[in-house]
């Protein structure tokens, strides 16, 4: 039975290509109005999953619903609720910004009066009004990405799929896209975001799913995922002059490992507060000056590496 509070429900979804499993019995839900991040290394199954959900590929097994409509048996109804912004902006280069939006509105069957007023509103909200008559080929990559958002949103979808929306963009363009995504989320739009950018996911998403080798490795809020790997919490310490030795730091209670690869020493521990106190006491007894001492939780990047075993793979290289 479909939960009316969910925009997307995935149950046992699988996809096999010529005997090779790309997606292996995955299940998850995306609530209405949620900004949901879908993360994973290259070849993990992200793109295949999105293509199944958006009707491009037919699942080998399992099922999924979009706004209560089955993606296979009710394909047209499910696709009517979504819009997709691909990583590479596939705009019509010889058409103007306005013509691109009108073409997309026409393809979606948006009434003429409604499409005009909506397009004007979108151009203004995405800071493209002054580019209305410009040919798409004259736009930068960041501006083309904003044009793609306009074209996707003109049909007023209930769910927006964003595939690597800031890939290759400069810092300013990335910040603008982030601001737009947050605004759309605040207005109640359900957003399914795939990204390689862990910092981006951490800033934007209320929940993230990490897919690895075709299976869901973890799914939760960024904070809870960080808390799930307590051993990757650490104390960061910078000494003015001499440093405590690796052996001395590793001998402290609760310490699992020490990283001396940078100026700031990282002491990994499940009890960072207690360890920080012990480091400060030990430094004082040795008459050593501490420039910086703080406790830190693992970043989402570290969580990602942990759940996809990338940290172990990198260590072997």
CA distances from 127 to 27, 120, 136, 147, 167 (A): 38, 11, 15, 10, 20
Q: What is the pTM of this model?
A: 0.79
Q: What average pLDDT does the structure give for the chain?
A: 89
For every one of its 317 residues, what pLDDT tens digit does the chain have, with 9 covering 90 and above?
Answer: 667 899 999 999 999 999 999 999 999 999 999 999 999 888 889 999 999 999 999 999 999 999 999 999 999 999 999 999 987 768 899 999 999 999 999 988 899 889 999 999 999 989 999 999 999 999 998 899 899 999 999 999 999 999 988 888 888 888 989 999 999 999 999 999 998 777 888 889 999 999 999 999 999 998 888 777 766 788 999 988 777 888 889 999 888 889 887 778 989 888 889 999 999 998 888 888 898 999 987 777 778 878 877 554 444 44
Helix residue ranges per DSSP H, the chain: 46-53, 75-79, 97-107, 112-125, 141-153, 171-186, 198-204, 222-228, 246-250, 272-285, 300-307, 310-316
Q: What confidence tens digit (pLDDT) does each residue in 175-205 have?
A: 989 999 999 999 999 999 998 777 888 889 9
């Amino acid at each position: 039975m479909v939960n009316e509070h969910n925009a997307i429900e995935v149950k046992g979804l699988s996809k096999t290509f010529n005997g090779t499993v790309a997606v292996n019995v995955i299940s998850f839900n995306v609530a209405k109005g949620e900004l949901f991040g879908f993360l994973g290394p290259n070849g993990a199954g992200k793109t295949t999953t999105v293509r199944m959900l958006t009707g491009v590929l037919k699942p080998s097994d399992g099922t999924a619903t979009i706004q209560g409509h089955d993606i296979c048996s009710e394909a047209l109804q499910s696709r009517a609720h979504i819009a997709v912004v691909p990583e590479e902006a596939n705009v019509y280069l010889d058409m103007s910004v306005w013509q691109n939006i009108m073409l997309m509105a026409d393809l979606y069957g948006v009434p003429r009066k409604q499409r005009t007023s909506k397009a004007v509103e979108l151009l203004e909200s995405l800071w493209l009004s002054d580019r209305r008559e410009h040919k798409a080929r004259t736009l930068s990559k960041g501006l083309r990405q904003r044009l793609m958002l306009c074209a996707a949103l003109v049909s007023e979808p209930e769910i927006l799929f964003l595939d690597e929306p800031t890939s290759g963009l400069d810092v300013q363009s990335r910040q603008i896209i982030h601001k737009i995504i947050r605004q759309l989320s605040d207005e109640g739009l359900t957003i399914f975001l795939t990204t390689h950018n862990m910092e981006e996911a951490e800033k934007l998403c209320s929940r993230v799913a990490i897919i690895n080798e075709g299976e869901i490795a973890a799914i939760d809020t960024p904070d809870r995922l960080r808390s799930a790997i307590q051993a990757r919490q650490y104390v960061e310490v910078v000494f003015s002059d001499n440093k405590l030795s690796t052996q001395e730091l590793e001998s402290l209670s609760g310490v699992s490992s020490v990283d001396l690869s940078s100026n700031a020493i990282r002491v990994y521990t499940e009890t960072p507060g207690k360890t920080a106190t012990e480091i400060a006491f030990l430094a004082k007894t040795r008459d050593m000056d501490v420039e910086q001492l703080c406790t830190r939780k693992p970043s989402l990047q570290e969580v990602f590496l942990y759940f996809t075993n990338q940290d172990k793979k990198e260590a072997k290289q």
